[in-house]
Structures are given as C-alpha cells and as structure tokens.
Amino acid sequence: MRPQGAAPDIGAYERCVFNPKESCFGFHGFEFTRHFDTSAFPEAGGVVSLPSGDYPLNSVQPLTATANLAFTFLNWTRKVADPTSASTFVVMDEDQSVTANFVNNMSGRGTPGTAIAPPRVDLTWTPIGADHVDVLRAAARGGPYTDIGTTAGSAFRDTTSGLVNNTKWYYVLRVIFPANTNLPRCPSHEASVTIPKGR
C-alpha cells in the first residue's frame, strides 16, 4: 500500500519505515501500543491505580491517585484529562509519563497567652525524609505568607511576634529535600489555627 512515508518513493519500490510499535505490512493480530510510566511524588504520599506498562494505542485508561495517611492529593504532572482531579483518565496516543503529586498534611493547636507566657501555636506533621522544612504564616487564607522559622523535625512551636489571643492564623510548610535527590520543593496544604481568647 502506498505511500508508506511522508510521500511516495521513486519508482515501483515503496520503502517501509520501521517502527517497533507499528507495522506497515498489515499483519493481523498485531496490537499497536504506547508505553505509560506513572509515579507518586513524594513516594510516601500515595499510590496510582494504573501501573506502568504498555497499553493499546489510543485507548482511554482510567487513572486514580489515592493519598496515604497524613497526605492529600495535590495534582497531576504531565498530560491527563483533568490535572486537578484525583480520578481522571489518560489517552494513550503517545508514550507518556505522569506523576501524582501529594502534599503532607499538617495540624496545629493554639494556646492563649497569659501574664507570664506569650500565646503560641504548636504545629505537627508527618516526616517525609526532608532535609529541612520552612514554616510560613499568614493572617489571611491564601497569604501573603511570612517565613517564621526552619526545622529539620516534624514539629514547630510558633511564639514569634504578632501572635495575640482570639486570632486565627494560616500556616503552610515548604519542604526542602536533600540536594542529592534532585527533588523540587514540596508545599503542604494550608492549616488554620485559632488562638483562644484565654482568661
């Protein structure tokens, strides 16, 4: 059958351009496929339902990201139908690689200040092998945030200036992985903490 390439070749001979995933000879029973690679970031964050492997060309494959305990699904990296939905699909029209991104959950508790102790907020989160974590705080949901401290652990006590009783504060973590891992900065979700009125 002609043409096999971008245009007919010269003369009666038609050259067949070989592609190991396609056939120009019309062999019956040969299924065209495309390769799919999937991963979770960070690995401790969760799992992806569709395993890596070869799938039929132009097939529609369902894709689900399930967060592990203490993590929340954030988004997909690369080509999926809805990058912000944990349940979506991918069309196998080419070789693809997608990543499900998860963020570390964080919780906090506010303690009112007294005559002898200032108000404070105690934050905790699940360790994920970070080199260190920057803690940022805002007075309004969504920021702007101010960097208030750094820790190599999985807890932080905020006693910095500005905290007063009967106020709400918003915190996020900026997780910094070791330089030799070549992993990007990973944000946490935003946690709101109220400091009670006190007595």
Mean pLDDT (10-residue bins), the chain, 199 residues: 55 54 53 90 85 92 86 86 92 92 86 93 83 91 92 93 94 78 62 89
Angle value at C-alpha 166, between 161 and 172, nearest 5 degrees: 60
- Calpha distance 80→91 (Å, rounded): 8
| Residues 6+ positions from 175 with CB-CB distance below 8 Å | 104, 128, 130, 133, 185, 186, 187, 188
pLDDT computed for residue 184 by the predictor? 52
Q: Residue 120, CB half-sphere, CA atoms under 13 Å: how many?
A: 10
Compute the 3-state secondary structure of the chain and give helix, strand, coil in percent, each to the nearest 5: 5, 45, 50
pLDDT computed for residue 145 by the predictor? 92
Location of structure tokens 């690679």:
37
Question: What are the tokens at 98?
Answer: 């997608």
Query: What is the three-class DSSP state of 142?
Result: coil
pLDDT computed for residue 7 by the predictor? 57
Question: What are the tokens at 95?
Answer: 């070789």
How remote is the C-alpha of 10 from its chain's centroid? 52
Q: What domains are defined for the chain?
A: 33-102 (no CATH), 105-195 (2.60.40.10)
